[in-house]
């Protein structure tokens, strides 16, 4: 039977027998063409059908157009979000909520200020209590600053991915736990470890606090209220100085359990210094997350609830509870591939695998955020900020080390000028029942003498003979025996150890019940000047803080920074006139009072220049750089104590002038909406 669809040749009809079709519409109608065998062979060899190629190209074009539309839409939304958010914050107003957050975050900043003074205040006592050598003492200060530098870098980056509030809770908790443990550490190794961990925690507070508070402020309030917030760092210094002055010099406030576990008053001081961090932690627990952070991470419902809370809290406090929060937020921020990957992996695998995936991916995001700061649009202003931060930190912290060390050196010189020298004295059968202070005894002879219940401070015995002598209940500070001969002598219940006998010859000498640890005399080792200098230095920044807060939004950040740094450079020359302790303290207060305005302006402009998704990361890097500059400055400036004043003053002057001139190149952010 003939097939109506076949020719007489047994082949297939030509396509021209049918109505013409568009080229792209070729489909099943082409099946059964004369070249069917040939196409089958090509398909068998893996060659795609022409129709499949056309369909794939069409799908690719459609996908490209879809992605282009999404990219344009996302770019438009990103441009609209800052203006929309600024409008929302203006609608919420500035009132009770911001002031509550202000005091809570201020306490966190105060805790950072306290930690900056703790080590300097406890070292004069701790170095005696735990027999810390000069090398170990320097290591403590170095490691604390290194820990704070690392903490600023780590927590600044994490707060852009984990949230401002959550990271601040972690930071304050770490500081509290390890500071508390350091109060009871009896060995120097444990004390060093605990202070390092505490520094790592509190080091992240400054980047988080400024980033957190900035995102609750409207544009015309940012400069002023961020400057007021800076005052809490000054209050931290005042709190630490005042409590140290009232606690540490009182030896009776301590107690001991046996000879191995001792709690002296300097440990109580560390405990009291935990109160600001503890109060801040309690307050932050009741504060909400930054809505700007939530919007950047597509958590619109949470952001809307928090913004409504801010709105209602402020307007109820102003007597207008009837005002309704009418803002609606569109959930249009797309998720990144990393976010989708985290969600997928969070539902699969073991708990350890899920934890590993989340944190490794978060680390990758943080690193990508850091690398994005080198983008062309951020590179130049970032370089200027780095220079200004480094120059200001180098001069400020360098002189911060130089001032107290210079005062101590002047005290030492005055003390040395009053030293009494005894040469070739012979003392026989004498009872020393009075303290020996600031003396040098050369080539003396002490026969059948008794040294009982006395203190020997800053005394050196050189080439002397002690024969048939008896030492009982002797406390010593900075006392040494050099090239002495000690015969038939008993040391009972003293803290005179082998380290204090240099190149001495011992003959039939006995040490009974030696005191463990080092002598600790709080009345002698804690000069009132130590606390007075820090107290006055912290108090001196109050006028500068007030002036910078009042004028930050009026004359702009750039003029504040540049003017303050250049004025501070002029103040450094007055240090050449410091020939007494009083003069050094006076010029120190003047320098701190003038330079604090530059710090306030620099911190304000640092949070305003960078977009919300990179704000904490950038501020953490800048604050870490500040700690790095402080480490370098502490070594450089301390190296010239007792040698010359010219080089430290010249270095501070050059750094301040350089930083002040570069600051004038920064963009003004006074009327800039947070990007």
Average the pLDDT over 239-252 and give the result. Answer: 76
Q: Considering the chain, what percentage of its residues have pLDDT values greater than 70?
A: 75
**632 Cβ neighbours under 8 A, 6+ residues apart:** 394
- Identify the band that residue 247 occupies on the pLDDT scale cut at 50, 70 and 90: confident
| Structure tokens given for 435 | 């303290």
Strand, helix or coil for residue 474: strand
CA–CA distance, 194 with 271 (Å, rounded to integer): 13
For residue 455, give the nearest of 526, 523, 527, 516 by alpha carbon: 523
Integer-rounded Cα Rg, in Å, for the chain is 36
CA–CA distance, 517 with 308 (Å, rounded to integer): 60
- Asked if 210 and 226 touch (Cβ cutoff 8 Å), the reply is yes
- Asked if 556 and 572 touch (Cβ cutoff 8 Å), the reply is no
What pLDDT does 256 receive?
55
How do beta strands 261-263 and 255-257 pair? antiparallel
What pLDDT does 274 receive?
92
Average the pLDDT over 203-221 and give the result. Answer: 89
Any idea of the CA torsion for 264, 267, 271, 273, to the nearest 10 degrees? 120
CA–CA distance, 489 with 112 (Å, rounded to integer): 52
CA–CA distance, 304 with 619 (Å, rounded to integer): 26
- Identify the band that residue 101 occupies on the pLDDT scale cut at 50, 70 and 90: very high
The residue with tokens 């080198």 is: 374
How do beta strands 490-492 and 510-512 pair? parallel
Is the pTM of the predicted complex or chain greater than 0.85?
Answer: no
* Cβ neighbours of 356 (radius 10 Å): 13
Judged on CB neighbours under 10 Å (0-12, 13-18, 19+), 409 is: middle
- Identify the band that residue 144 occupies on the pLDDT scale cut at 50, 70 and 90: confident
The residue with tokens 């030509």 is: 14
CA–CA distance, 527 with 403 (Å, rounded to integer): 15
CA–CA distance, 193 with 454 (Å, rounded to integer): 36
- Identify the band that residue 118 occupies on the pLDDT scale cut at 50, 70 and 90: confident
CA–CA distance, 122 with 555 (Å, rounded to integer): 41
CATH topology of domain 81-329: Growth Hormone; Chain: A; (1.20.1250)
- Asked if 642 and 409 touch (Cβ cutoff 8 Å), the reply is yes
Q: Which of 96-110, 146-160, 326-340 has the highest mean pLDDT?
A: 96-110
CA distance readout (Å), 418 to 97, 437, 521, 524: 60, 10, 21, 17
Least confident of 52-61, 205-214, 335-344, 424-433: 335-344
| Structure tokens given for 363 | 């680390």
Q: What are residue 429's phi and psi, to 5 degrees?
A: 55, 50
Instruction: Write the pLDDT tens digit of every residue in 503-533.
Output: 899 889 888 877 755 544 444 444 566 777 7
CATH topology of domain 418-512: Pectate Lyase C-like (2.160.20)
What pLDDT does 18 receive?
44
Per domain, the residue ranges of the chain are 81-329, 418-512
* Cβ neighbours of 95 (radius 10 Å): 16
More confident residue, 433 or 581: 433
- Asked if 233 and 545 touch (Cβ cutoff 8 Å), the reply is no
- Identify the band that residue 457 occupies on the pLDDT scale cut at 50, 70 and 90: confident
Q: What is the largest CA-CA distance in the chain?
A: 148
- Identify the band that residue 355 occupies on the pLDDT scale cut at 50, 70 and 90: low
Average the pLDDT over 232-253 and give the result. Answer: 79
CA–CA distance, 599 with 606 (Å, rounded to integer): 11
What pLDDT does 266 receive?
78
Residues across the chain: 675
Q: Name the DSSP letter for residue 183.
A: T
Instruction: Write the pLDDT tens digit of every residue in 479-492.
Output: 889 999 999 999 98
Decide whether 81-329 matches 418-512 in CATH topology. Answer: no
212, pLDDT greater than 60: yes
For residue 419, give the nearest of 392, 440, 390 by alpha carbon: 440
Average confidence score pLDDT of the chain: 78
Angle 265-272/96-129 helices, nearest 10 degrees? 160
CA–CA distance, 366 with 344 (Å, rounded to integer): 20
- Alpha helical stretches, state H, 610-672: 615-638, 646-663
CA–CA distance, 462 with 443 (Å, rounded to integer): 6
H or E element, residue 124: helix 96-129
């Amino acid at each position: 039977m003939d097939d109506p669809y076949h020719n007489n040749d047994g082949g297939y009809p030509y396509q021209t027998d049918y109505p013409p079709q568009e080229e792209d519409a070729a489909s099943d109608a082409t099946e059964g063409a004369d070249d069917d065998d040939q196409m089958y062979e090509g398909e068998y060899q893996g060659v795609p059908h022409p129709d499949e190629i056309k369909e794939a190209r069409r799908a690719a074009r459609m996908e490209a157009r879809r992605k282009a539309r999404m990219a344009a839409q996302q770019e438009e939304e990103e441009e609209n979000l800052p203006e929309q958010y600024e409008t929302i914050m203006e609608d919420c107003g500035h009132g009770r909520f911001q002031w509550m957050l202000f005091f809570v975050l201020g306490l966190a900043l105060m805790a950072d200020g306290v930690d900056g003074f703790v080590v300097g205040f406890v070292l004069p006592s701790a170095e005696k209590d735990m027999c810390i050598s000069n090398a170990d003492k320097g290591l403590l200060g170095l490691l604390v600053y290194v820990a704070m530098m690392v903490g600023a870098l780590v927590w600044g980056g994490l707060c852009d991915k984990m949230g401002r509030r959550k990271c601040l809770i972690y930071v304050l908790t770490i500081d509290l736990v390890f500071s508390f443990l350091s109060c009871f550490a009896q060995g120097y190794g444990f004390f060093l470890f605990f202070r390092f961990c505490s520094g790592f925690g509190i080091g992240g507070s400054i980047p988080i606090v400024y980033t957190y508070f900035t995102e609750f402020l409207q544009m015309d309030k940012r400069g002023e209220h961020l400057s007021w917030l800076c005052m809490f760092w000054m209050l931290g210094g005042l709190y630490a100085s005042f409590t140290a002055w009232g606690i540490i010099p009182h030896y009776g406030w301590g107690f001991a359990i046996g000879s191995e576990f001792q709690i002296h008053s300097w440990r109580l001081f560390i405990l009291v210094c935990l109160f600001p961090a503890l109060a801040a932690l309690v307050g932050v627990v009741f504060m909400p997350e930054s809505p700007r952070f939530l919007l950047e991470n597509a958590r619109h419902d949470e952001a809307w609830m928090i913004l409504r809370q801010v709105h209602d809290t402020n307007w109820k406090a102003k007597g207008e509870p009837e005002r309704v929060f009418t803002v609606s937020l569109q959930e249009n921020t797309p998720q990144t591939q990393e976010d989708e990957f985290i969600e997928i992996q969070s539902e699969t695998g073991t708990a350890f695998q899920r934890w590993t995936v989340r944190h490794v991916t978060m680390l990758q995001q943080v690193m990508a955020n850091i690398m994005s700061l080198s983008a062309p649009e951020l590179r130049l202003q970032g370089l200027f900020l780095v220079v200004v931060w480094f120059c200001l930190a180098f001069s400020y912290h360098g002189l911060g080390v130089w001032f107290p060390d210079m005062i101590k050196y002047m005290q030492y010189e005055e003390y040395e000028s009053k030293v009494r020298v005894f040469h070739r004295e012979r003392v026989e059968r004498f009872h020393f029942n009075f303290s020996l202070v600031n003396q040098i005894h050369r080539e003396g002879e002490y026969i059948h003498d008794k040294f009982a219940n006395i203190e020997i401070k800053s005394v050196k015995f050189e080439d002397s003979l002690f024969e048939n002598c008896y030492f009982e209940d002797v406390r010593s500070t900075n006392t040494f025996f050099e090239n002495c001969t000690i015969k038939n002598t008993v040391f009972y219940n003293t803290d005179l150890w082998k380290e204090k006998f240099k190149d001495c010859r011992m003959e039939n000498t006995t040490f009974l019940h030696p005191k463990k640890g080092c002598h600790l005399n709080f009345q002698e080792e804690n000069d009132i000047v130590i606390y007075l200098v820090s107290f006055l230095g912290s108090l001196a920044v109050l006028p500068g803080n007030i002036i910078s807060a009042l004028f930050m939004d009026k004359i702009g950040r750039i003029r504040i920074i540049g003017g303050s740094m250049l004025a501070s450079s002029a103040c450094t020359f007055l240090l050449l006139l410091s020939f007494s302790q009083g003069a050094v303290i006076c010029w120190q207060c003047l320098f701190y009072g003038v330079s604090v305005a530059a710090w306030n302006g620099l911190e304000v402009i640092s949070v305003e220049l960078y977009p919300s998704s990179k704000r904490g990361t950038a501020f953490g890097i800048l604050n870490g750089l500040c700690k790095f500059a402080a480490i370098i400055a502490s070594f450089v400036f301390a190296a010239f104590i007792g040698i010359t004043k010219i080089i430290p003053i010249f270095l501070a002057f050059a750094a301040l002038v350089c930083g002040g001139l570069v600051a004038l190149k920064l963009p003004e952010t006074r009327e800039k909406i947070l990007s």
